[in-house]
Amino acid sequence: MSISSSSAAAAPTPAPSARLLPGAPVADQILADVESRAAALRARGITPSLATILVGDDDASAGYIRIKQRQAASLGFASPHRHLPATATQDDLHAVIDEFNEDRDVHALLIQYPIPQHLDYDAALMRVDPDKDVDGMHPLNLGRLAAGIPGPLPCTPAGIEALLAHHGIPVSGREVVILGRGATLGRPLAMLLAQKRPTANAAVTVVHTGVPDWSRYTRRADILIAAVGVPGIIQPEHVKPGAVVVGGGVRYEGRRLLPDVDESCAAVAGAITPRVGGVGPTTVAMLFRNAIEAAERRFT
């Protein structure tokens, strides 16, 4: 028996799904290069070294240090570490920084953030030798970035550029909108992607939540990068159909990661980073790229 078209239930139309842009293959490629360069240094009798400082007993921070130490070991790095109690003074912290600054066998240095509230992180960062600043966040290194002078790059912005390049996303000449103006992501990323380079050279607009109609800018972006740290702030109606969407900002609720970009945006975007495993792996990889470059600079 045939069923007329008027009585047949309409077949559901599958929702479009954006191409995913995972960070793991990008990180693997970067880390393979780092491992090769570390082996070349060790062949010359030089062991690259990334030192870490942890202040206090935050479980998440201690976990991040362990991850970095395991990664360092797998790449052939030394990873000297100092753990200060939560009661440490600013002078105590500066003394350890000075110790690592003066140690010629330490090529890169990381202060695990956050530190206890009674301590001044910015003052500690200023104390770090800029050439050992593995995060690329020392004011001198941000100045180098602004001037186009080689130096350690902020890890998350550099990781985003690498992610776009790895996945063949054209950036040059396109309109990039960054939602967020923070010193660790939005501002340095804008400088990075505006530079004259095949993987950059974009028309970059930085907008923020202090602009009442910020979505007017995001809806015109060829590449939209969320860098606010407000869970779910980017919804499908804020995205131009077919745009590339990168979730750079996150917040944690306990151990649960809450990204800026709502997963429903995949129904509108042409390509999008996954909720987990997008920008994060590339940030860690760039940390070690900065570290190997610091070691190489020391011996050239």
Active centre residues (catalytic): 68, 112, 135
Complete edge-to-edge strand list for the sheet that includes strand 203-207: 19-20, 271-272, 244-247, 223-226, 175-179, 203-207
Antiparallel, parallel or unpaired: β 19-20 and 81-84: unpaired
- Residue 186's nearest CA partner among 154, 215, 223 is 154
Residue owning tokens 């330490």? 106
Cα–Cα distance for residue pair 79/102, rounded to 1 Å = 16
The set of residues, in sequence order, having a beta carbon less than 8 Å from that of 294 and lying 6+ positions away, is 107, 108, 131, 132, 134, 152
Residue 255: CB atoms within 10 Å: 8
Q: Which helix (H) or strand (E) holds 272?
A: strand 271-272
